Chain A
Amino acid sequence: GENVEQHPSTLSVQEGDSAVIKCTYSDSASNYFPWYKQELGKRPQLIIDIRSNVGEKKDQRIAVTLNKTAKHFSLHITETQPEDSAVYFCAAAYAGGTSYGKLTFGQGTILTVHP
């Protein structure tokens, strides 16, 4: 089955710096890659996702890049703010097949943005 590795496990940056979180996946059939942000005591919330027919997607300060050949994808947050502090999870899935509803998650990255 699919396996997703996420690095780093913790990331500390100063406000205004950029943050990059990387994930690798094992199943070349995976074609849907969402990123979730989970603040302490709250539900995971989708912040951006990408499908394998594109290499990059941006939404304001957040971007995701995908390298299908190397089977890795990354989350980039620019101009970080203290409210970006949270746990970030990457995930991978095969959309269009029989892996109904199944997201395979990375272990998470604790991002801390210092004012």
Chain B
Amino acid sequence: KAGVTQTPRYLIKTRGQQVTLSCSPISGHRSVSWYQQTPGQGLQFLFEYFSETQRNKGNFPGRFSGRQFSNSRSEMNVSTLELGDSALYLCASSLEVAGVDEQFFGPGTRLTVL
């Protein structure tokens, strides 16, 4: 089975721009979670989608949004980029129907904001 994939792997943007990141989960997985990883804050939960619905959201500003498509692929969008948004963005997929289950991570998208 193919693992979780993310595109693009690297992005360089300037302040004020917006960016869209994509995540394709493992086949059959319907839950996709997104995390931000930085040296200072570690791994922080952004949001989770299941069957095209956002079921849970972390403590990030409204500039961070996401969506999920009928094939379970997910995208996250960050608008009006700030320098502090520079991070590794990881998505994880799981089979979970309720609660939390084993999550498989993608390789991440490294976003640099200049």
Contacts and interface: CB of A to CB of B under 8 A. Distances in A.
A43 B108 contact: yes
Interface residues of B, number: 31
A1 to B, nearest CB: 8
A102 B45 contact: yes
B101 A95 contact: yes
B106 A94 contact: no
A102 B33 CA distance: 7
Nearest to B103: A103
Which of A44, A96, A97, A108 has the most B CB atoms < 10 Å from its CB?
Answer: A44
A94 B47 CA distance: 15
Interface band, chain A: 20 to 34
A96 B47 CA distance: 17
A94 B99 contact: yes
Contact of A93 (B47, B50, B100): B100
Interface of A: 32, 34, 36, 42-46, 49, 89, 91, 93-108
